[in-house]
Amino acid sequence: MVLPLLPFYATRLGGDAIAVGLMVSAFAVAQLATAPLWGRLSDRVGRRPTILGGLLVSVLAHLLFALACSEQAAAVLAPRGLLGILFLSRLVQGMGSGTTGVVQAYVSDSVPPTERAGALGWLTAATSAGVMLGPLVGSLAAARGPAVPGLVAAGLCLVNAAFGFRFLGEPPRPAAPAMAPAVRPVWRMMATVVAHPRRAASALILVYAGGMMAYMAMNAVLALFLQARFGITEQTIGYVYTYLGAISLVMRGLVLGPAVARWSEVRVLRLGLTTLGLGFALLPFVPGLGLLAVVVILIPIGTALLFPVTTSLVSRVAGAGEVGQTLGVQQAFGGIARMVGPMWGGAAFQHLSPGAPFWLSAALAAALLFYAVRFARLAPEPDSP
């Protein structure tokens, strides 16, 4: 809800594209650092109180966001101090969002194993709906005042926490297996990915991380680019993100499944990289809003094709008994990409040109496509024995 507004507020307080990139990265840093802590806490005290705790942390984060943007605070604090509060709000928000894995665990604990895929699919759909509607609500709130989006977001989190306190029960905990499989340290598995990039799982994880880095570099500066090129403001940026979210929701809900059934996951992965790269490369050349509406849809189409099938392929090529660990390694690489991408995207925007992050992201997507074609047999096709 507030992320699309962040570049406008940060630059208004004297920040530049580098500062925006650092703020976007700060969220990913805090989320990656706190996710294991939230997970351990949920194993110790329960899923329900941990989820509620994360929501309350998010309330605090959005209140800090509102404070940084308020006229009352501007009368007391210098812009540099307000910029620091805005940065702090992103760190705190990342801490609150570290409970994402706990929410997934809650869903997994609440349904039989045979129904988990469908239940997690509904969770993804709900998240996509929030991503689609949140920016629109944020822009509408921004029209009422710069601090209003933060206050509305804090209020929604507080209502969500109150609803959870009243209606959310603690799910039954599955019994621990008598002989738990050996767990390799994540850092060691990550080192294996880097040391053996030609292995199927390693190649897929690197493609996932590279694609995520390219996307996050673009996304961190998209609002600044649209402002500079087309005069988009905080009151109108929400419509752009809602449009992108709607395309992504349609792609994931209606198009992805039939596409995989027809062309296989490996081919869909390549198609996703191609579409994403074209979107990155063409966007800086768009002369008007009409053509922008056509070209920009290549990006949500590409992400909807690339990331889900890459995750599916990773789960298929992972070793026996190591699916969860391997997917955890993929998410760790993805977290690093979410940290690094916005930083170099902001630096390229600030020191090279507004189009530079898009062209660099396109070049990275092209390199990943070459890598994916070179190691084409990343996994057996669905019709293989």
The stretch 14-22 carries a mean pLDDT of 92
The percentage of residues in the chain with a pLDDT greater than 90, rounded to a whole number, is 49
Cβ(23)–Cβ(82) below 8 Å = no
CA distance 143 to 94: 26
pLDDT at 318 over 90: no
- Give the pLDDT of residue 354: 93
The stretch 332-340 carries a mean pLDDT of 90
The stretch 318-340 carries a mean pLDDT of 78
The first and second tokens of residue 267, run together, are: 């081919």
pTM, full prediction? 0.84
**Who has greater pLDDT, 123 or 183?**
123
- 316 contact partners, CB below 8 Å, separation of at least 6: 379, 380
- Give the pLDDT of residue 176: 52
The stretch 204-223 carries a mean pLDDT of 94
Cβ-based burial of 288 (10 A; exposed 0-12, middle 13-18, buried ≥19): exposed
Q: Could you please state the CATH topology (level 3) that the domain comprising 1-169 is classified under.
A: Growth Hormone; Chain: A; (1.20.1250)
Task: Give residue 208's pLDDT band: very low, low, confident or very high (50, 70, 90).
Answer: very high
- HEC profile of the chain: CCHHHHHHHHHHCCCCHHHHHHHHHHHHHHHHHHHHHHHHHHHHHCHHHHHHHHHHHHHHHHHHHHHHHCHHHHCCCCHHHHHHHHHHHHHHHHHHHHHHHHHHHHHHHHCCHHHHHHHHHHHHHHHHHHHHHHHHHHHHHHCCCCCHHHHHHHHHHHHHHHHHHHHCCCCCCCCCCCCCCCCCCHHHHHHHHHHCCCCHHHHHHHHHHHHHHHHHHHHHHHHHHHHHHHCCCCCCHHHHHHHHHHHHHHHHHHHHHHHHHHHCHHHHHHHHHHHHHHHHHHHHHCCCHHHHHHHCCHHHHHHHHHHHHHHHHHHHHCCCCCHHHHHHHHHHHHHHHHHHHHHHHHHHHHHCCCCHHHHHHHHHHHHHHHHHHHCCCCCCCCCCC
pLDDT at 328 over 90: no
pLDDT at 192 over 80: yes
The first and second tokens of residue 109, run together, are: 């604990």
Asked if the domains at 1-169 and 184-385 fall in one CATH topology, the answer is: yes
Q: What is the pLDDT of residues 111-158, one digit of tens each?
A: 776 676 566 667 777 887 888 899 999 999 998 999 999 999 999 999
Q: Name the CA dihedral angle for 187, 344, 249, 123, rounded to a multiple of 10 degrees.
A: 30
- Give the pLDDT of residue 1: 83
Task: Give residue 201's pLDDT band: very low, low, confident or very high (50, 70, 90).
Answer: confident
Q: Name the CA dihedral angle for 10, 16, 20, 22, rounded to a multiple of 10 degrees.
A: -130
- Give the pLDDT of residue 343: 94
Cβ(305)–Cβ(269) below 8 Å = yes
The stretch 94-119 carries a mean pLDDT of 78
Task: Give residue 384's pLDDT band: very low, low, confident or very high (50, 70, 90).
Answer: very low
pLDDT at 203 over 60: yes
Q: Could you please state the CATH topology (level 3) that the domain comprising 184-385 is classified under.
A: Growth Hormone; Chain: A; (1.20.1250)
pLDDT at 184 over 80: no
- Give the pLDDT of residue 24: 92
- Give the pLDDT of residue 345: 94
Task: Domain ranges for the chain, please list them.
Answer: 1-169, 184-385
Q: What is the pLDDT of residues 38-69, one digit of tens each?
A: 888 888 888 899 999 999 999 999 999 999 99
The first and second tokens of residue 249, run together, are: 């929701």
Q: Which residues of 45-73 are buried (b: 16+ CB within 10 A; e: fewer)?
A: ebbbbbbbbbbebbbbbbbbbbbbbbeee
Task: Give residue 381's pLDDT band: very low, low, confident or very high (50, 70, 90).
Answer: very low
Closest to 135 measured CA to CA, from 217, 56, 234:
234
- Give the pLDDT of residue 372: 82
Task: Give residue 22's pLDDT band: very low, low, confident or very high (50, 70, 90).
Answer: very high
The first and second tokens of residue 175, run together, are: 């019994």
Count of C-beta atoms within a 10 Å radius of residue 174:
9
- Give the pLDDT of residue 383: 41
CA distance 225 to 228: 5
Q: What is the pLDDT of residues 269-310, one digit of tens each?
A: 999 999 999 999 999 999 999 999 999 999 999 998 898 888
